[in-house]
Amino acid sequence: MSIVSLSNVKKNYPLGKTEVKAVKGVSFEVEKGDFISIAGPSGSGKSTILNMIGLIDTPTEGEVSIEGAVTSHLNDRQLTTLRHKTIGFIFQSFNLIPVLNVYENIDFPLLLGKIPFSKAEKEEWINFLIEEVGLTEWRNHRPNELSGGQRQRVAIARALVTKPKIVLADEPTANLDSKTGEAIIELMKKINKEIDTTFIFSTHDPTIVSIADHIIRLQDGLITEDSKTGISAGASR
Amino acid sequence: MKSFKIASRNIMREKKRTFLLAGAIAFGVLIIILLNGLSQGLVGNIKDNLSHLLSGHIFISADEILPTGLAEEVIRDDKLLKDALKDLEIPYQSISTRSSATGEIIFGSKTVRRIDIDGVDFDQDPDFLKSLNIVSGSLDTINEPNHIIITDKTAQKLNIEAGEEVLFKTTTTTGQNNVDSFIVSATFKGNEIIDVDAGYGNLASINRIINLRDKEFQTFSIMLKDMEDMEGFTDKIYSYMEERVKVAERFRIDFSDIEAMMNFSDDDEEKTDEEESDEEDENPLTKMMAMGMFGGKVDPARAGEITYSVTNINDMLSIIFSVISAINFTATVIFFILIIIIMVGITNTFRMVLIERFKEIGTMRAMGMQRPIVLRIFLLEAIFIGLLGSFMGIALGILIGNAFSLISFADFNFLSLFLYKDHFTYSLPVAGMVSTLIIIPILCIIAAFFPSRKASKIDPAKALSTNF
């Protein structure tokens, strides 16, 4: 069973008096443990698709399923709960809370819902994540004292703290230099292998795309290539 | 608990902004706490001072119509009054029966034209003499006929010493002029609260000069154990008496009488000359002490009719209290105007916060924060700011109020009725504090509600796509 499934998903946005068709009918599946890249130029619909997988946006048409369960009938509270339990987010501009230090930023999502472990286990888990992303010496520093790469490492650890099944990363390397960007993707891949979490990230950087096991290419709101199914341009229309 | 933690972190992010908002609230609270506490202390001082001066909290007097048709202020039998105290189980500290004679006192060529001499049953009210500060002479002879004690200031005006004999001329409530000689047994330190010429003699001696019998009296004063219960007990006594005898409507003295009562020594000195005058004595203190009113001549057929009056210190001071209430009301109005301005400030600040945290709210919503939690965090922040401001205001109010009460106003004689040992009293306004701690956070919630609700409705996808 696929962990994420999109079936003929369409998304239209109103723009003044007209309507923009951001996603024009996309179907693909993501298997558990996948390290998948959604690639494409700006405006191809990458972020919109990630938002719909992340349940922070709803499709105009079609269906998004998480772990086999359709999500279209869920209300905001149920979607939020599902998001908290199942999905971790990594953002292009890190979105860390400036007044909290590294440890507190990573801990923050645990304040938002039920914690699946004890206080000691929680501390051990956060310390493990800090070590995993290589920030042991920086655990008491605030975001403004960290480099871009370090901030994104904090964001990775934060995305993983609730032990989600899926981590979504929207252009995680866009604000980083290419070397740091590659290091971040390598780190994500390492964690993907170690703790068997599904990573879905969007990028328009061809070097980074090639690191993924499964690549979905988009153009103008449509899939032009799905490396797993072998679908090429126009096939999903 | 989690919302509490996040909200408390949030308000500490922008410390300056938080403290400015809380400071504005604190300023409003400070005004109300300061004025409330001072006016409360003022009321307490006035009541204490007057109850000490008048030897009681509740006063009962009576007017009896004589066969001539004139009304005489007299209570001939205290049985009814004592029964009332017993039946109603009034917890009193002491009771005293008094008569009062107002007139002029003459020694040689010197005259003090207006003096109030109270007749006191010293056996019934033994603590009274102990409370006096004797300057010269002795109290040993006070119970002997025609012996009085007068204030040291009156003695100075007359230039007499203890043991010397003076003439006391008075007019009875029926209009008869009487004169008798009295020996000044002692002088005592005059009451600083209301600086009038005053004196005391035993009840029988004073009764004689105003044509009353030995055991009769004009005023029955009840000093309660706790002044707080004064209104309730006054009402009880009033109802009790109303069921049994004729009782006049509650008498409330007017403000001009209070002012006149507080005539100061400077005015008196002008009147200690040797000139004679037929001027009627109109000292309102006499009226107040007697708790009765001089009635005109009525139908002699009503002879024997007695009308009682029941009154208390609050009745006498109702005008002063209404002035104090007006001050408190004004303070409350100012407070609410300030609070409305502050509320607009809070609404505006929370709108700014909403814009500042737009992306952050989107991030938190994406990470799994529920809408009601966003609302709760915002409202908690408003409550925290409200509470912080309230506590700051209360603390400052208490501090300034107490500091103010350390200042001595000994040189301001006209304030003496309002002071306790030359100082204003700052009384902790507990009710004001509690209501402030409830009202302010509620007003802050109202002020922050709409921006907070808007924050909780932020679409995470939209918030995350913004670049600010």
pLDDT at B297 > cutoff 70: no
At residue B372, the pLDDT reads 92
Q: What is the pLDDT of residue B284?
A: 43
pLDDT of residue B383: 95
**Helix H segments across B14-92?**
15-53, 79-87
The amino acid present at B339, given as its one-letter code, is I
User: Using a CB-CB distance cutoff of 8 angstroms, which residues of chain A are in contact with residue B13?
Assistant: 98-99
Please state the rounded mean pLDDT for residues B175-184: 90
Q: Are B172 and B100 in contact (CB under 8 A)?
A: no
Would you state the structure tokens that stand for residue B91, as one six-digit string? 């917890």
Q: Using 50, 70 and 90 to split pLDDT, how confident is the model at B193?
A: low
Å from B407 to nearest chain A CA? 46
- DSSP helix, strand, coil percent of chain B (3-state; round to 5): 55, 20, 30
Report CA-CA distances (Å) from B136 to B150, B185, B206.
10, 9, 22
**What was the pLDDT predicted at B400?**
94
Q: Where are the alpha helices (DSSP H) in A27-75?
A: 46-53
Average pLDDT over residues B144-152: 90
- CA-nearest residue to B373 within chain A is A112
Nearest to B158 by CA among B103, B106, B113: B106
Provide the shortest C-alpha distance from residue B368 to chain A (in Å). 4
Residue A95: which of B13, B363, B465 has the nearest Cβ?
Answer: B363
Average pLDDT, chain B: 82
What mean pLDDT do residues B68-86 have?
87
pLDDT tier, B133 (very low <50, low <70, confident <90, very high otherwise): confident
CA distance A87 to A100: 22
Sequence-ordered strand ranges (E) for B232-321: 246-247, 306-312
d(CA B411, CA B422): 8
Question: A100 — contact with chain B (CB < 8 Å)?
Answer: yes
Q: pLDDT class for A93, splitting at 50, 70, 90?
A: confident
Cα–Cα distance, A32 to A197 (Å, whole number)? 7
pLDDT at A131 over 80: yes
- In chain B, what residues touch A171 (CB-CB under 8 Å)? none
Contact indicator for B219, B97 with CB cutoff of 8 Å: yes
Confidence band, pLDDT 50/70/90 cuts, at residue B292:
very low
- Tell me what pLDDT residue B194 has: 59
| Mean pLDDT confidence for B297-314 | 82
Average pLDDT estimate for A3-18: 90
Q: In this predicted structure, what is the pLDDT of residue A154? A: 93
Using the beta-carbon criterion (under 8 Å), do B371 and A76 form an inter-chain contact? yes
- Give the Cα separation of B416 and B409 in Å (integer): 8
The pLDDT assigned to A167 comes to 92
Using pLDDT thresholds of 50, 70 and 90, give the confidence band for residue B398. Answer: very high
Judged by a CB distance cut-off of 8 A, whether residue A143 touches chain B is no
Sheet containing strand A231-232, edge to edge, reads A87-90, A166-170, A198-203, A35-39, A214-219, A222-226, A231-232
Size of interface A-B (CB pairs under 8 A): 58
Interior/surface letters B35-45, b for 16+ CB within 10 angstroms, e for the rest: bbbbbbbbbeb
**A chain contacts of residue B466, beta-carbon cutoff 8 Å:** none
Nearest to B80 by CA among B234, B308, B312: B308
> What is the Cα–Cα distance from B194 to B24, expressed in whole angstroms?
42
Is residue A142 less than 8 Å (CB to CB) from chain B?
no
Residue in B368, B464, B465 nearest the CB of A84: B368
What's residue A191's pLDDT?
85
Say if residues A111 and A84 touch (Cβ distance below 8 Å).
no
pLDDT tens-digit map of B249-290? 875 554 444 444 444 334 444 444 444 444 444 444 444 444
**B2 → chain A, closest CA residue:** A111
Question: Is the minimum CB–CB distance between A83 and chain B shorter than 8 Å?
Answer: yes
Please say whether the beta carbons of A11 and A22 come within 8 A: yes
Interface check for A37 against chain B (CB to CB < 8 A): the answer is: no
The pLDDT value recorded for residue B269 is 41
- In one-letter notation, the amino acid at residue B126 is P
Beta bridge partners of A231: A226
Average confidence (pLDDT) over B315-321: 75
Predicted local confidence at residue B285, as pLDDT: 43
**Predicted confidence (pLDDT) at residue B436 exceeds the cutoff of 60:** yes
**Dihedral sign (CA A108, A114, A119, A120):** negative
Element (H, E) at B9: helix B2-13
- Chain B residues touching A81 at Cβ < 8 A: 368, 370
Give the pLDDT band of residue A233 (cuts 50, 70, 90): low
Interface residues from chain B to A (CB-CB < 8 Å): 2, 5-6, 9, 12-13, 359-360, 362-371, 373, 460-461, 464-465
Closest of A193, A196, A200 to residue A37, by C-alpha = A200
Note the pLDDT of residue B195.
Answer: 62
**Selected residue with higher pLDDT from B419 and B372:** B372
On chain A, the residues whose CB falls within 8 A of the CB of B368 are 80-81, 83-85, 109, 112-113, 162
Rounded CA-CA distance A28/A4 in Å is 8
> Residue A171 pLDDT > 90, yes or no?
no
CA angle B266, B272, B277 (to 5 degrees): 120
Mean pLDDT along residues B3-7: 83
Highest mean pLDDT range out of A24-33, A170-179, B46-55? A24-33
Task: List, in sequence order, every beta strand (DSSP E) within B108-228.
Answer: 110-120, 134-137, 147-151, 165-171, 177-188, 198-202, 219-224
Q: What percent of chain A has pLDDT over 90?
A: 38
Segment among A229-233, B93-97, B181-185 with least mean pLDDT? A229-233
The predicted pLDDT at position A53 comes to 94
What the block records as the tokens of B224 is 């309660």
Helix (H, G, I), strand (E, B) or coil at B189: coil
Please state whether B161 falls in left (phi above 0), alpha (psi between -120 and 50) or beta: beta
Helices in B405-459 by DSSP H: which ranges?
430-456
Which of B2, B12, B461 has the CB atom closest to A56's CB atom?
Answer: B461
Chain B residues within an 8 Å CB radius of A76: 371
- Which one of A76, A89, A100 has the shortest CB-CB distance to B367? A89
Which of A47, A91, A112 lies closest to B369 in CB terms?
A: A112
Residue A5 falls in which region: left (phi positive, over 0), alpha (psi -120 to 50) or beta: beta
pLDDT at B261: 45
User: What is the rounded CA–CA span in Å between residue A109 and residue B434?
Assistant: 37
Going by the DSSP 8-state scheme, the letter that residue B212 receives in this structure is -
Considering only CB atoms, A91 lies closest to which of B6, B364, B464, namely B464
Please give the pLDDT value at position B251.
58
Does A80 reach chain B within 8 Å, measured CB to CB? yes
Assessment of whether the complete model's pTM goes beyond 0.80: no
Assess contact for B166 and B181: CB atoms under 8 A. yes
Model pLDDT, residue B467: 55
């799994």: which residue's tokens?
A: B368
Question: pLDDT at position B259, please?
Answer: 45
